[in-house]
């Protein structure tokens, strides 16, 4: 390098800085280039970190989605429990329907007139009165209508 960028001016004459020789200026320039290279590496690292942050942001969004799905699964679990409860209620209603039929049968049996009086007993003790069943009157079978 013939002249440096740093000149001393005096009285209108421009002269090169005599304190710096060519080897010093080259070493300073190479030092600056080394610094610039380090800054470039740093910028590359920062760019990588920025990409990483973008990835982390995407993962955070995914985690938010997974959290929403987990909430949905919790809701579905609650609905499944509710369906189980409804199934139990349906079974209970079936049982109540059976009891209602039984009560209707008992009511029908209660409305039928059973012959009463001395010597009248069912042919088979424990059976309900029915027009089709025979009863004994003084030992003789007789139809009850």
Q: pTM of the full predicted structure?
A: 0.35
Please say whether the dihedral angle defined by the alpha carbons of residues 134, 127, 123 and 111, taken in this order, is positive or negative.
negative
How much is the pLDDT for 54?
A: 95
pLDDT in tens, 101-145: 998 888 888 777 655 555 555 555 555 555 444 555 565 555 554
pLDDT at 145: 47
User: So what's the pLDDT on residue 31?
Assistant: 92
* pLDDT, tens digit (0-9, with 9 covering 90-100), for 64-87: 999 999 999 999 999 999 999 999
Tell me which of 74 and 23 has the higher pLDDT: 74
């Amino acid at each position: 390098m013939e002249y440096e960028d740093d000149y001393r001016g005096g009285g209108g004459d421009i002269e090169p800085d005599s304190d710096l020789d060519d080897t010093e200026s080259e070493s300073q320039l190479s030092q600056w280039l080394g610094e610039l290279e380090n800054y470039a590496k740093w910028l590359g690292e920062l760019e990588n970190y920025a990409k990483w942050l973008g990835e982390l942001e995407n993962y955070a969004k995914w985690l938010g989605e997974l959290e929403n799905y987990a909430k949905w699964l919790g809701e579905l679990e609650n609905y499944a429990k509710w369906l189980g409860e409804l199934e139990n209620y349906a079974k209970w209603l079936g049982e109540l329907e059976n009891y209602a039929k039984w009560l209707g049968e008992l009511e029908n049996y209660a409305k039928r007139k059973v012959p009463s009086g001395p010597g009248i007993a069912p042919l088979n003790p424990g059976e309900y009165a029915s027009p089709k069943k025979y009863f004994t009157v003084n030992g003789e079978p007789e139809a009850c209508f």
